[in-house]
């Protein structure tokens, strides 16, 4: 008779993947990096045209009807609320957003489920958060405000959604002490990067997009169903 316990312990341990994240989250992070790499090979004129067509351009969005800066149709203008998330200023910008997406998108994706329905819910939350960030930025912008690019609205929404997950299972309420503390830290961190971001990263940081995405992500997470989530 063999000792089954000893036999199992003698088996080699299964090697964990280098990136332990659901496929959808990995694909989205790779997409952000791949698009930035592709755009970096374009000419300066082509890059300017891409920004003009797909970034949030407040001066163009709020242009008076008939102005040469206005979008050719409403759909073109509204699509920039989403397409702006696919553009980034430089490599540090896209890498930070890709890492944030992996960190906070992973628990949210696992809570929704690794299937077609779960993927759809995850995309709904991510895109809805991007739109929330873009909308708040535009609402507080004027015609002279700078372009808005980056997936920070989406990653902020994923962060809010991840904070709402209860490690014991299910979701925390919006008014829970834990979520309110997380939200206060998030707000203070954004206040800090408004002042130190330009010096450290060499770019302006849009707290409006972060806040809009965070609020949208929190609201959507409350509404959307999760499948008995428990922390790993």
230 in any annotated domain: no
Compute the distance between CA of residue 207 and CA of residue 191 in angstroms, rounded to an integer.
7
Cβ neighbours of residue 217 under 8 Å, at least 6 residues apart? Answer: 125, 128, 129, 132, 156, 157, 158, 159, 160, 161
48 in any annotated domain: yes
Residue 8: predicted pLDDT? 42
Give phi and psi for 198, each to the nearest 5. -60, -35
10 in any annotated domain: no
Q: What is the pLDDT of residues 184-196, one digit of tens each?
A: 999 998 888 877 7
Domain CATH for 174: 1.20.1540.10
Q: What is the pLDDT of residues 46-58, one digit of tens each?
A: 999 999 999 999 9
231 in any annotated domain: no
Contact 51, 84 (CB under 8 A): no
Compute the distance between CA of residue 36 and CA of residue 38 in angstroms, rounded to an integer.
5
90 in any annotated domain: yes
Looking at the 3D structure of the chain, how many domains does it have? 1
Quote the domain boundaries for residue 34.
21-223
118 in any annotated domain: yes
12 in any annotated domain: no
List the structure tokens of 43: 């000419």
């Amino acid at each position: 008779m063999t000792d089954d316990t000893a036999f199992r312990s003698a088996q080699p341990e299964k090697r964990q993947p280098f990136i332990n994240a659901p496929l959808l989250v990995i694909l989205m992070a790779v997409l952000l990096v791949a698009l930035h790499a592709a755009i970096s090979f374009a000419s300066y004129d082509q890059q300017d045209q891409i920004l003009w067509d797909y970034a949030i351009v407040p001066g163009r969005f709020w242009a008076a009807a008939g102005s040469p800066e206005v979008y050719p149709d409403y759909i073109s203008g509204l699509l920039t609320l989403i397409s702006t998330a696919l553009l980034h200023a430089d490599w540090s910008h896209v890498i930070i957003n890709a890492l944030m997406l992996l960190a906070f998108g992973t628990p949210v994706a696992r809570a929704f489920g690794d299937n077609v329905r779960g993927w759809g819910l995850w995309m709904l939350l991510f895109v809805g958060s991007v739109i929330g960030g873009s909308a708040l930025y535009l609402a507080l912008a004027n015609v002279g405000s700078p372009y808005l690019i980056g997936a920070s609205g989406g990653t902020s929404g994923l962060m809010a959604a991840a904070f709402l997950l209860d490690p014991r299972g299910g979701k925390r309420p919006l008014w829970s002490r834990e979520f309110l503390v997380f939200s206060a830290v998030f707000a203070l961190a954004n206040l800090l990067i408004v002042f130190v971001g330009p010096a450290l990263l060499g770019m302006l940081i849009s707290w409006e997009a972060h806040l809009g995405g965070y609020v949208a992500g929190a609201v959507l997470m409350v509404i959307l169903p999760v499948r008995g989530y428990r922390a790993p």
